[in-house]
Chain A
Amino acid sequence: MSKIRTQLMLCGGTGCSATSPAVREVFEKELERQGLSEEVQIVETGCNGFCTLGPVMLVQPEGIFYQKIKPKDVPEIVEEHLLKGRPVEKLFYVEPASEETIPTMNEIPFFSHQMLRVMRNKGLIDPEVIDDYIARDGYFGAAKALQEMTPGQIIEEMKISGLRGRGGAGFPTGLKWEFASKSPGDIKYVLCNADEGDPGAFMDRSILEADPHAVLEGMIIAARAINSHKGYIYARTEYPLAIRRLTIAIQQAREYGLLGEDILGTGFDFDIEIYEGAGAFVCGEETALMRSIEGKRGMPRPRPPFPAQKGLWEKPTILNNVETLANVPQIILNGGEWYSGVGTETSKGTKVFALSGDVNNIGLVEVPMGISLRTIVFDIGGGIPNKKEFKAVQLGGPSGGCVPEQHLDIPVDYEEIAKVGAIMGSGGMIVMDENTCMVDMARFFMDFIQDESCGKCTPCREGTRRLLEILNRICEGKGKPGDIEDLEELSSVIKESALCGLGQTGPNPVLSTLRYFRDEYEAHIYEKRCPAKRCVALLKFEIDPDLCSKCGACFRHCPAEAITWKKKDVAVIQKDKCIKCMTCFEKCKFGAIF
């Protein structure tokens, strides 16, 4: 009989693991010293989601949530909490708005607004122990699919669930499987797209790190549905922890007879291999991904033929994203009806978002479809730091679009988001405050896209580079009349004539910022002014005497000694000495420098 009374669910996700191993080490020592090793177990979990507070730890069964634990805090936790039963309050979460201390995880707004399906095991199991997963009904879905259901029934269940591709495009998963199942051929492939590449997106990584078996189980079910016997997980090389955990998970699943030949004695064979990508963003595009697995340069090819007919090595293939696959086991276990009980008319279930940027609670959140963006940003995300104003939120990474304040009440729904010019995307959600220059933002994403363009088709290769050239000029104060028109014209060419999804959505950063922030472009071009004061070339580096509080912060921090200031006097920047390093801008709390 186990004597364990308490479990310490210490986050071992990529963010927290910067210091959590050191924390764990001290815990082990302390528990040993206090003679608690038998009673208290340390479990290294996958990503908890509240990355901004890392390393975080949940004490079970009480549900006490500790944040920002440092190794030096550990003796106190062991001594006070674990030995004497007095939780350490100074490590509790503090609500930024109300400054209220919240001891348990479920009460923290960041968690309480979430609905966990894909991430239901996060922080609760050790991802490197298959028994933990099985204890949480793991592989029951696969067992049901293999033992009780026909491929047709699996596909039907998936169709009822209304699950749509979580990689971004939102293609109905059941339909995709149905096409592949109907394609003739003995050899078929199930692929998992774990080539998460959008800047600011880390949903798939966290799922793989926290619950790798869920993805494997989803693949087994998919394989059964289309009668495939071989699967590949195409994972980013830049995700070493995810790859390590996947490798362990695959090994364990093989040992348990859940992968390999004759799975669960059903006579069904299926095995999975991990294929590490070489770092190209475009390899997240399905045809490029398949070429890459074939060992060739990852370049998209035109469709048709669609992968469901001719995919990997010209064989019928389905490619699903990590999050999509992680949804599958529960759909099979609980039924499609159960799954579609949550969500909107066209978008069912939950969606994981990676919340980042100018927001208080940076982290991973899973919300039911239909929840408003405002709830995500302000309730779960805790609003904008430093009392700044919200400006826009970028959805769907570089290929997505921005949603400004006036549309913040739209629900999370594929179609509704598309209506305002953004996309659901894979779940990247970058919040921007008033200090963000939208032209500069478009330039940043365009730089990314043109760099990641594979170079095959002309509109994407030349066009995205040209958009960047124009944006660069605008930000450098060399914009000219006609630039906006050129941006629009070229964007429409790229959008309508590029070969693959990367190219076709490439101009989105330009189009969506032009849609909502055209005035900023015009200010840059015609007035040579950057309203957000981010574009260095457009700044005068002068001090507005009306706004200057005469505090001298700029003077003290200027590395070039270009600022003269005396107490109770307005500071003055000497332009011949100024190196335009922006330090004074950052230090001035009053926005007096322009």
Chain B
Amino acid sequence: MGNKGLFGKGLSGRGLFRAASGAVATLALSAAISATLSVSAFAEDTMGLPTDKAMGWQPAGSALKRQAEWFYDDLLLPIIVAICVLVAGLIIWIMIRYNKKTNPVPAKFSHNTLIEIVWTVVPVLILVVIAVFSLGLLRDFNDMPKPDVVVKATGNQWFWSYDYPELGVTDIESRLREDAKDIKTAHAAGIPYLLEVDNVLVVPVNKVVHVQVTGADVIHSFTIPAFGFKIDAVPGRLNNTWFKAEKIGTYYGQCSELCGKDHAYMPIEVKVVSNADFDAFIVKNGGKTRAMIASDAAASAAAAEQAAETASASAAVTDAASAAATSATTSASAAPVSGAAAAH
């Protein structure tokens, strides 16, 4: 409904600036309206999917993305709309006040030191404000809390493959489903066209998921718009990012670096599930949950130190478990890393 409003204003605006001997006002008007709309655009609130006719973000699925949305919607957008409206307003005023008829004799000034200082310093101050928030947000994106799960996503021409290196689940190939390749069959199956995959990436809710990304052939890019991250899958490099999904549900993304003919046909589908469901998924795929790995470690530690006292044995269990976890992460990020992990 908001979209019709935009065009309605645009069209009626056309008559208006004709009368004012031609103006550039329409677009500023549209921009201003779109600004108000984009904040409250998603009426249908479809999680993790693009919404038709929407003018703003997909709903956020993580606290970080919500922060990024706030930064854009409540700080950047008002500033940039204000600048556009100011420029448009000045131009319209010039058209009305300083045209050939209303001002036949032009002024001759060509300098005004004060105004020049003002329009240099004020933008600098605005940018400083933006930069403070921007760098804070960048820091938040960059500083990964201690991860609960590590997943590795590999971009291939033209599908994604997923590993859970710590949990012993490897090589889950995730391809666009056949019936999602055609609008009719997708509708019949009740799945989103070009988005539904055969094997989804499963992660637990409210846990820090450390995503390692690499490319097998050419560069791809791994992203989930609802979580606000995007990281390139570069051959020969292991890139790192992270997210923490807040709600159980399905979230879609699409490969975001041109990778050949089927670039548009290798979506990313993440299923956020409860911890129990996640453990079940891992076991079903032949892996071991964290608890199982810990108890295995405890068992082997106990076997190795049969003679030891009970108290010292339980201490060793904790040590061994944490040592195992640390070595897993270190070896996983041994390749040239950057971003999140490197900054620590």
Tell me, yes or no, whether A binds B: no
